[in-house]
Structure 1
Amino acid sequence: MIVLPTAVREAIFERARDGDPDEICGVLGGEYEPGSRSRVASQHPAENVAEESRTRYEIDPEEQLRIFDRLEDRGEEIVGFYHSHPRGPPRPSATDTARATWPDRSYLIVSLEPLEVGSWRWRTAADGADAPGDRFEREELVVE
């Protein structure tokens, strides 16, 4: 489960609308609890540096490190990441699945048509030989 403040959700919606037709992206900070419940306290916008920014997102590694340092300075953990699908549903695409790298972190996806948000946790097969392969699992999203 991920708990998302209404103000953070609205800020991400606004960024997604302003960024249209390109995908927007950023990092979520707050309280991270592995395999359990995370609580978002802040969102940190990042520039989308993907060559095909209308259908992909990529955060510059140096900018990502600066955001991580800012989170550490604030006493927050990396809860996950967010990006938009201006013309698609709020669920991971095949590209999102192929590029996911942060096990057990949340990936919040905003759709503009219709305007909605979904959240997914990235799971890996590393938990055991019988576990399914790397995949996204939908997680409960609570807006407060």
Structure 2
Amino acid sequence: MDAERRLDAVLVIRADLVEDVMAHAREEHPHEACGIIAGPEGAERPERFIRMVNAAKPSGDEAAEAEERALRSVVLSGDHAEYQGEQRSSTTYYTFDRKERLRVNDEMDDRDEWPVVIYHSHTRSPAYPSQVDIDYASGPLSDPRIHYVIVSTREGAPPTVGEYEFRSFRIVDGEVTEEDVEVVESYMFSHTGADDVPDRA
């Protein structure tokens, strides 16, 4: 069995981090929010919440918008360029700002961290990966350990974690596997490791 298939099909995450993700999603609505929750390298323990910029969101700066269009053209092609008959925008998909992502990657390297969770919100659809999400998470640079969290801020979203539609997935070589989400107050007694401590960056 491949290594990625042996990974535990569960995301263990602190309640305060769930609240951080949902607060970010609500603040950005109707635009999609996105970000990373970093943790110690080699540990399945999301700890440090990092809000990111959705580069698909218009900035008002002509040069920045030109770069955003270039980024969108890389991610979106063919049928993916539209969402239910309309041109895709920051209300229907996300992409990280390239410079910010490089800065955050360097920061994680310096702190001996890795992106345990990559999250984003859906504002008009269920919390399930779209084909754009799957393409974005796949490829030679993808990491099968990453938990892809999607939350929905659409009206009437059915709750899956507390009062929120908050779901987690592994995406490996284009294959989507949903996993359970276990919310804990601290990692002290969860199965992420006996030496874990409940801390915040």
Fold equivalence (TM over 0.5):
yes
Deviation at 1:31, TM superposition (A): 4.0
Q: What is the CA distance between 1:41 and its match in structure 2? A: 0.7
Question: Secondary structure at 1:44's aligned position in 2?
Answer: strand
For residue 58 of structure 1, what is the aligned residue in structure 2? 95
Q: Structure 2: which amino acid aligns with 1:45?
A: R
State the partner residue of 1:109.
150
Secondary structure of 2:116 counterpart: strand
Q: What RMSD in Å do the two structures reach over aligned CA positions?
A: 1.8
CA contact (8 A) 2:149 2:166 kept: yes
| Structure 1 match to 2:176 | 136
Structure 2 Cα separation of the partners of residues 45 and 23 of structure 1: 12
TM-score, normalising length from structure 1?
Answer: 0.83
The count of aligned residue pairs is: 132
Q: Structure 1: 5+ residue runs without aligned partners?
A: 125-133
Aligned to 2:136: 99
Structure 2 match to 1:120? 169
Structure 1 residues 140, 47: CA separation in 2 closer, same or farther (over 3 Å shift)? same
Which residue pairs with 2:21 in the alignment? Answer: 12
* Equivalent in 113, 118, 124 of residue 81 of structure 1: 118
| Residue identity opposite 2:176 in structure 1 | F
The separation in 1 between residues aligned to 2:12 and 2:104, in whole angstroms, is: 20
- The aligned counterpart of 1:3 is 12
TM, length-normalised to structure 2: 0.61
Q: Which has the larger radius of gyration?
A: 2
Distance across 2 between alignment mates of 1:41 and 1:122: 21
Q: Determine the C-alpha separation between the residues in 2 that align with 1:11 and 1:57.
A: 18
Contact kept? 1:4, 1:141, Cα under 8 Å = yes
**Partner letter of residue 166 of structure 2?**
V
1:32, 1:85 → 2: CA distance?
28
Displacement after TM superposition at 1:30 (Å): 0.9
CA distance in 1, matches of 2:136, 2:41: 21
Which amino acid is 2:180 matched to? Answer: E
Q: How far is 1:32 from its partner? A: 5.7
